[in-house]
Chain A
Amino acid sequence: KQEVTQIPAALSVPEGENLVLNCSFTDSAIYNLQWFRQDPGKGLTSLLLIQSSQREQTSGRLNASLDKSSGRSTLYIAASQPGDSATYLCCGESGSTLGRLYFGRGTQLTVWP
């Protein structure tokens, strides 16, 4: 069974820091990988999707990469802001059973002014 680990579970940093959030899968056969943010009491907002043929994606201050050989993904947040405070979730799609998706438990990020 696929297990997804996100490290760290929580992170509290001052504004302006560059951050690295990690996600790893026990089964490295990941087809797609998507990063989401979730604000308290809210739904999920898609941040970045790394498709099967890609290795990384960038959007503004966010960059996500996927190493398929190891089953690890990294979300890099540059110049963090208080508005970045949220829980960040990674979600991988099984390469052997398309449609089966697995979420990590998230990294709870707090950026203080």
Chain B
Amino acid sequence: EAQVTQNPRYLITVTGKKLTVTCSQNMNHEYMSWYRQDPGLGLRQIYYSMNVEVTDKGDVPEGYKVSRKEKRNFPLILESPSPNQTSLYFCASRTGTLNEQFFGPGTRLTVL
């Protein structure tokens, strides 16, 4: 089944403890992207990747890192999480620039 998977789905952590949210797609998509969704603010793009080893900042990249070492994976790294990074995070992928995005199920992160 074609899908985008994210792990973990739920995470509660404490300020300053490094964490990684994984994202994987099995559709051989070139493009992958991370978003956060906050009440009243909607979805905002954090980072995106047009292909392997190519990453670019979105709207809200501060406090996040990403890497794209292989096509199928696009992990989101929070080196020192803070409470303002408490949010619902979505990963998405698509083929090239003329095709629809497919979204993962989301990761709900709480930073205490």
Interface residues of A, Cβ cutoff 8 Å to B: 31-32, 34, 36, 42-46, 49, 51-52, 89, 91, 93, 98-106
Contacts and interface: CB of A to CB of B under 8 A. Distances in A.
Contacts of B59: 102
B98 A52 contact: yes
A36 B103 CA distance: 10
B13 interface: no
Interface string B39-64: 01111110010100000101100000
Contact of A99 (B40, B42, B48): B48
8 contacts: A42-B106, A91-B101, A99-B33, A99-B48, A100-B48, A100-B56, A101-B33, A103-B44
Tell me the dominant secondary structure on chain A's binding face: strand
B90 A99 contact: no
Contact of B31 (A42, A49, A99): A99
B42 A105 contact: yes
